[in-house]
Amino acid sequence: MRSSTLNLARFVALAAMAFVPLASAQNLLTNNAGFEVNNAYYTPGWGWPQGTPDVLPGWVITLDPAADGYAGAAGDQSPGNLEGSSFGYIYSGSGSSGVLETAPGSRAPVQAGTAYRLWFRARGDVSWSDSLATVSLVWYPGASDPATVGDPTNLDLTLPAILSKADPMQVFGLGAVAPAGANYAGVRVTRPAYVYAPILLDDFVIMAEPAEVSLSIKKLGLGALIYWPRTPKHRLEVNSNPADPGGWPETDRPMNGVGATNYVEYPFTPSACFFRLAAPQD
């Protein structure tokens, strides 16, 4: 079990640390990763054309010009864990497959042979059907080159019907090693043809898998913000007595992932609390 430990009793000494992720924990997708730049949409067909395929900075939309598909960004709903005030969406409807993908020039720089992870949030948008999509991590030799290298890493999504417009987004992640010849990576969201349930999307992140993961802490109101580079396998454990090896349960506070960082908000406690990150041995 690997771990690193923080003591909330030493909080005064640690409070001055800035909430700045390590260089190895940066989101390499920097252009409109959260669909905050432009609330607009594109639909090419069925008598109500609107916008252009590049209406969202950092993204390219492909839709059947003879169908009723649409895609874009909006802020008219309130998923419980929306990052920022807007979200992306895509609906392919009565036509062929719709695609939303990272635009040339907005791809993430990568190095061949290095492990990367794609994080994002997604949710269905109707109460009467599941929503379907495939999200892919795609590799390119150049920033604007239309050709790809290697095979994309795919994640097929079946997003359940919603109960309320306030239903939260689900967090998803997939990882892969950049193949030989890859210098850039991008996101591709593909909708099946003739699927009538839209999906909502948010907070896309492409980051290098951190080689080292350590805890940081800063003051946040009447408590502490405990954070570390985003990783799928580490969990935060808490203990009031670090000398007790059996006293390290996983914290019951909710963990949040945003950008390239995981974090937990923890209230001040009457006595000292100790924290550590733990993960199974490789």
Domain ranges within the chain, ordered by starting residue = 2-22+211-279, 26-208
- What is the DSSP secondary structure assignment for residue 273, as one 8-state letter? -
Q: How far is CA 71 from CA 126, 127, 128, 252, in A?
A: 15, 19, 20, 38
Mean pLDDT, range 167-196, rounded to an integer: 94
Q: Is the pLDDT of residue 24 over 80?
A: no
Q: What is the pLDDT of residue 9?
A: 45
> In this structure, how many other beta carbons lie within 10 angstroms of the beta carbon of residue 254?
9
Greater confidence, 108 or 78? 108
Q: Which of 23-32, 157-166, 209-218 has the lowest mean pLDDT?
A: 23-32
The phi-psi region of residue 53 (left if phi > 0; otherwise alpha if psi is between -120 and 50; otherwise beta) is alpha
At residue 245, the pLDDT reads: 77
- What residue has token string 């069925």? 46
3-state SS of the chain: helix, strand, coil percent to 5? 5, 40, 55
Task: Give the integer Cα–Cα distance in Å for 125 and 80.
Answer: 13
Q: Could you give the CA distance from residue 264 to residue 158 in angstroms, rounded to a whole number?
A: 28
The DSSP secondary-structure symbol of 250 reads B
For residue 226, count other CB atoms closer than 10 A to its CB.
Answer: 26
pLDDT value at residue 280: 64
Report pTM: 0.82
Strand partners, 224: 219, 266
Q: pLDDT exceeding 90 applies to what percent of the chain?
A: 47
What's the confidence (pLDDT) of residue 103?
94
Residue identified by tokens 């290095």 is 114
CATH, range 26-208: 2.60.120.260
